[in-house]
Amino acid sequence: MTKPIDDHFFFRYRELLDAEDNAFDELEHAAEDGDHARFDVDLAAWTKALQAKLTWLANCDYDVPTPNL
């Protein structure tokens, strides 16, 4: 880990976590509504938000294992 865990770290992590959570909420609504077109768009948005969080953590030298799909 090269970057310290400080207020800035937690602030940025919270931003990324909130973005991921919001994207997942939209994905969940599309799934519940059976809206396949919106689901595909929301899935891409959630994947992008998740990847941004994981990339940022990797840049902070946190290795977060991801499942092999």
Mean pLDDT of 27-44: 96
Closest CA to 31 of 20, 14, 46: 46
pTM for this structure? 0.83
Tokens of 21: 């959570």
Evaluate if residue 3 carries a pLDDT over 80: no
Is 46 domain-assigned? yes
pLDDT band at 69 (very low <50, low <70, confident <90, very high): low
The answer as to whether 66 is a domain residue is no
- Expressed as residue numbers, the domain containing 17 is 7-59
pLDDT value of position 2: 63
Number of domains observed in the structure of the chain: 1
Percent of the chain with pLDDT over 70: 94
Are the C-beta atoms of 54 and 66 separated by less than 8 Å? Answer: yes
Inside any domain, residue 1:
no
Please check whether residue 21 lies inside any domain of the structure.
yes
- 24-41 as b/e, with b when 16 or more CB fall inside 10 Å? bebbeebeeeeeeeebee
Evaluate whether residue 23 is within a structural domain. yes
In a domain, 2, yes or no: no
Question: What confidence score (pLDDT) does residue 4 get?
Answer: 74
